[in-house]
């Protein structure tokens, strides 16, 4: 807090117009006032004061009182003055502090006038001009230690047994679960120093750190771009398959910390918030799509007939992860989240819809090749009162889960399930999630009218069925790293491959046929290119393999004469001759149910400069 103290012979102010939307009502404080022989305290409340407002207030009152006694003034004016600092507190917190300063000084027996907060004000001041008439003070509050949240850890089996983690006997096939429990519950240190192979794979496909930005921000080359776009399209498709009406939306990524609902929700993230300042206001960059979707939903007139219903946004999201913990494609400060919220009438309906979400998460995990192990974060009251619900979810998992019991009332959710995989270094990586939220509907004024025409607050399911886009891709590449570790050829699914088919003519004489084959594939929305560089055939085949292209077609004299294609299949290392129609039928079966995004590279390889991440 910064304070400019002027001992004035005369001081007068008058509020002219509001400076901010949340300007204080002039019914609470005088819009105009004057005083003589007065100590005017121009006060800027700073962001750091929010850590312990009460301590800052007492120190500010002490500083004002000390000068007041020394100059022998008759009264004090507490005057909001934002211009002493560039690191201002949120308006709501600043007003709270100013009110408390005035109240504290009044309690000490002084006559206090408090000027209105959030207004443009005219003022006149006549300073005495003696040695103590103009002083400044800076006060710094002592930071309050964050309360330690006591959590209890258990292992819950599908048959209902509840174990303390240190007492559970892990069975064959539960090696990954053991590693998860040891890290999360027993707090064992993971072996450090070794970089996961996935990071190299991310770079191979054009996911790179952006050197011109903050740490934890990536750039996406042409290969990475089409992969991200494909997962985004697929996330929308998957959301529509849950069985509830879904609306897709878009919105801003910047939200006002002065809004009580935004602030309360944001407090859970603490130091992980990305904060920006605009024209004296404090804003945060969203860490998920909650704020935008809740803002939209609060404006809609909903009936019980509309529920359950969902809303999805592919939200650019920001989290201020610790500098030393960022990891390419996984732990980022900026990423894309297919954030899906479903409104339900009450907790009972939320549980039933969450079962559908759980089923979809497990289904998509199996399709992606993920061996999910779940962490069930629950509040203590929910676990005690609804253990049967938790057990029903666990039975549907078909394997034991780690249960983390949290104190009641500190989160907006009552159950928060995280689905983790373990990469080739046996490090747990959270991918998908779902939560049941019973607090935010009221906080954001989201209501529906029930059968009795009464307003009710819905229960809200938060879910990312695939996880964030980058984490989903991290999981896909982690599978490839495990294959490589087993001595097998690493690959990614064809639907995600930036180039799905490469056609290589053996000589210039075969280029026309190669182009005809490629054009036919492209007509069926296959991402295909033609390597028309006149390098050696072996080099061109190696370059295609370096890009992990699922299907490499080499055409020569025999293929031209027989109107066939010779296909090299990366996944199986097979080589087959077939008709183009047979090959198309094979691709259609493999790509069924997945999005068809256009490619992000020129059709002819000769038209591309050397791309650094492919070298």
The shares of helix, strand and coil residues in the chain, as percent rounded to the nearest 5, are 35, 30, 35
Q: Output the six-digit token pair for 467.
A: 């996880």
Portion of the chain with pLDDT greater than 90, in percent: 86
Q: Output the six-digit token pair for 80.
A: 């909001």
Q: Which long-range contacts (CB under 8 A, 24 or more apart) does 292-296 make?
A: 292/249, 292/251, 292/252, 292/255, 293/249, 293/251, 293/339, 293/341, 294/261, 294/341, 294/440, 294/444, 294/446, 295/251, 295/444, 296/249, 296/251
Q: What is the pLDDT of residues 101-160, one digit of tens each?
A: 999 999 999 999 999 999 999 999 999 999 999 999 999 998 776 677 899 999 999 999
Q: Indicate the range of 186-200, 211-225, 303-317, 476-490 predicted with least confidence.
A: 186-200
Q: Indicate the range of 48-52, 150-154, 466-470 predicted with least confidence.
A: 48-52
CA atoms within 13 A on the CB side of 588: 10
The angle, 0 to 180 degrees and rounded to 10, between the axes of the packed helices 511-523 and 580-591 is: 40
Q: What is the pLDDT of residues 344-378, one digit of tens each?
A: 999 999 999 999 999 999 999 999 999 999 999 99
Q: What is the pLDDT of residues 374-392, one digit of tens each?
A: 999 999 999 999 999 999 9
Provide the pLDDT for residue 401: 98
- For the chain, the structural domain boundaries read 2-138, 152-220+248-254+286-478, 494-614
Specify whether domain 2-138 bears CATH 3.50.80.10.
yes
Residue 391: C-alpha distances to residues 155, 160, 358, 418, 497 (Å): 11, 6, 13, 16, 39
299 and 293 in contact (C-beta within 8 Å)? Answer: no
Cα–Cα distance for residue pair 134/98, rounded to 1 Å: 21
494 and 526 in contact (C-beta within 8 Å)? Answer: no
3-class SS of residue 9? strand
Q: What is the DSSP string of 39-53?
A: EEEEEE-BGGGGGGH
Provide the pLDDT for residue 442: 94
3-class SS of residue 153? strand
Cα–Cα distance for residue pair 252/258, rounded to 1 Å: 16
Residue 442: C-alpha distances to residues 294, 400, 423, 456 (Å): 11, 34, 40, 9
Q: Output the six-digit token pair for 411.
A: 């989160």
Q: What is the pLDDT of residues 205-231, one digit of tens each?
A: 999 999 999 999 999 999 999 999 999
Is residue 526 over pLDDT 70?
A: yes
Specify whether domain 152-220+248-254+286-478 bears CATH 3.30.70.260.
no
Residue range 433-445: average pLDDT? 95
C-beta atoms surrounding 16 within 10 Å: 11
Cα–Cα distance for residue pair 259/22, rounded to 1 Å: 9
Q: What is the DSSP string of 220-278?
A: E-HHHHHHHHHHHHHHHHHHHTSSS-EEE----SEEETTSHHHHHHHTTTGGG-EEEEE
Residue range 240-263: average pLDDT? 92
Cα–Cα distance for residue pair 16/31, rounded to 1 Å: 8
Is residue 194 over pLDDT 80?
A: no
The pLDDT-based confidence of 615 (bands split at 50, 70, 90) is low
Q: What is the pLDDT of residues 28-47, one digit of tens each?
A: 899 999 999 999 999 999 98
Give 74 or 142, the one with higher predicted confidence. 74
pTM: 0.87
Give me the CATH topology for the region 494-614.
Rossmann fold (3.40.50)
Return the closest-CA partner of residue 127 out of 6, 248, 42.
6
Return the closest-CA partner of residue 153 out of 182, 195, 128.
182
466 and 234 in contact (C-beta within 8 Å)? Answer: yes
Residue range 257-269: average pLDDT? 82
The pLDDT-based confidence of 252 (bands split at 50, 70, 90) is very high
Is residue 51 over pLDDT 90?
A: no
Q: What is the pLDDT of residues 582-606, one digit of tens each?
A: 999 999 999 999 999 999 999 999 9
Q: What is the 3 state secondary structure string of 517-565? A: HHHHHHHCCCCEEECCCCCCHHHHHHHHHHCCCCEEEEECHHHHHHCEE
DSSP 306: G
Q: What is the pLDDT of residues 267-283, one digit of tens each?
A: 777 668 888 888 767 88
Residue 311: C-alpha distances to residues 139, 296, 346, 413 (Å): 46, 10, 17, 18
Provide the b/e sequence for 430-468 (b: ≥16 CB within 10 Å): bbbbbbbbbbbbebbebbbeeeeeeebbbbbbbbbbbbb
Portion of the chain with pLDDT greater than 70, in percent: 98
Provide the pLDDT for residue 614: 75
The pLDDT-based confidence of 250 (bands split at 50, 70, 90) is very high
């Amino acid at each position: 807090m910064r304070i400019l103290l002027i001992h004035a012979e005369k001081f007068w102010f008058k509020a002219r117009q509001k400076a901010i939307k949340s300007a204080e009502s002039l019914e609470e404080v005088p819009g105009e006032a004057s005083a003589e022989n007065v100590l005017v305290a121009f006060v800027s409340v700073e962001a750091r004061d929010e850590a312990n407002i009460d301590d800052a207030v007492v120190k500010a009152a002490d500083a004002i009182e000390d000068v007041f006694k020394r100059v022998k003034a008759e009264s004090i004016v507490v005057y909001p003055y934002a211009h002493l600092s560039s690191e201002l507190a949120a308006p709501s917190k600043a007003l709270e502090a100013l009110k408390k300063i005035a109240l504290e000084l009044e309690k000490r027996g002084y006559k206090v006038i408090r000027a209105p907060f959030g207004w443009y004000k005219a003022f006149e001041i006549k300073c005495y001009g003696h040695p103590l008439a103009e002083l400044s003070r800076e006060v710094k509050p002592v930071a309050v230690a964050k309360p330690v949240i006591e959590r209890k850890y258990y292992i819950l089996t599908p048959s209902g047994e509840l174990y303390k983690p240190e007492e559970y006997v892990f069975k064959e096939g539960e090696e990954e679960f053991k590693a998860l429990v040891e890290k999360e519950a027993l707090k064992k240190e993971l072996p450090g120093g070794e970089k996961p192979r996935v990071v190299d794979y991310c770079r191979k496909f054009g996911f790179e750190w952006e050197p011109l930005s903050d740490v934890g921000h990536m750039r996406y080359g042409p290969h990475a771009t089409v992969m991200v776009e494909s997962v985004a399209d697929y996330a929308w498709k998957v959301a529509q398959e849950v069985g509830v009406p879904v609306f897709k939306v878009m919105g801003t990524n910047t939200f006002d910390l002065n809004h009580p609902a935004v602030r309360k929700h944001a407090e859970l993230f603490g130091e992980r918030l990305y904060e920006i300042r605009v024209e004296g206001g404090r804003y945060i960059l969203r860490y998920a799509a909650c704020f935008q979707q809740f803002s939209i939903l609060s404006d809609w007139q909903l009936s019980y007939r509309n529920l359950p219903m969902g809303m999805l946004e592919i939200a650019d999201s920001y989290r201020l992860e610790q500098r030393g913990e960022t990891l390419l494609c996984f732990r980022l400060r900026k990423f894309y989240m297919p954030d899906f919220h479903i409104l339900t009438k009450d907790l009972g309906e939320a549980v039933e819809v969450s079962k559908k979400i759980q089923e979809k998460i497990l289904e998509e995990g199996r399709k992606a090749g993920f061996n999910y192990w779940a962490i069930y974060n629950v509040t203590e009251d929910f676990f005690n009162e609804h253990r049967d619900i938790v057990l029903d979810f666990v039975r549907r998992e078909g394997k034991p889960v780690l249960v983390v019991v949290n104190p009641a009332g500190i989160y907006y959710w009552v159950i928060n399930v995280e689905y983790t995989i373990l990469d080739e270094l046996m490090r747990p990586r959270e991918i998908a999630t779902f939560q049941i939220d019973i607090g935010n509907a009221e906080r954001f004024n989201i209501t529906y009218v029930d059968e009795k025409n009464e307003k009710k607050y819905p229960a809200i399911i938060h879910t990312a069925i695939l996880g964030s886009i980058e984490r989903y891709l991290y999981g896909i590449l982690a599978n490839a790293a495990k294959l490589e570790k087993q001595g097998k050829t690493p690959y990614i699914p064809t639907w995600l491959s930036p180039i799905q088919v490469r056609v290589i003519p053996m000589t210039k004489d075969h280029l026309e046929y190669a182009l005809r084959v490629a054009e036919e594939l492209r007509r069926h929305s296959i991402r295909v290119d033609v390597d028309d560089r006149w390098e050696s055939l072996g080099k061109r085949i190696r370059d295609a393999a370096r890009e992990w292209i699922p299907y490499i077609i080499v055409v020569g004299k025999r293929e031209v004469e027989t109107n066939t294609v010779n296909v090299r299949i990366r996944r199986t290392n097979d080589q087959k001759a077939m008709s183009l129609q047979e090959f198309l039928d094979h691709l259609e079966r493999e790509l069924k149910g997945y999005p068809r995004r256009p490619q992000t590279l020129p059709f002819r390889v000769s038209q591309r400069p050397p791309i650094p991440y492919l070298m």
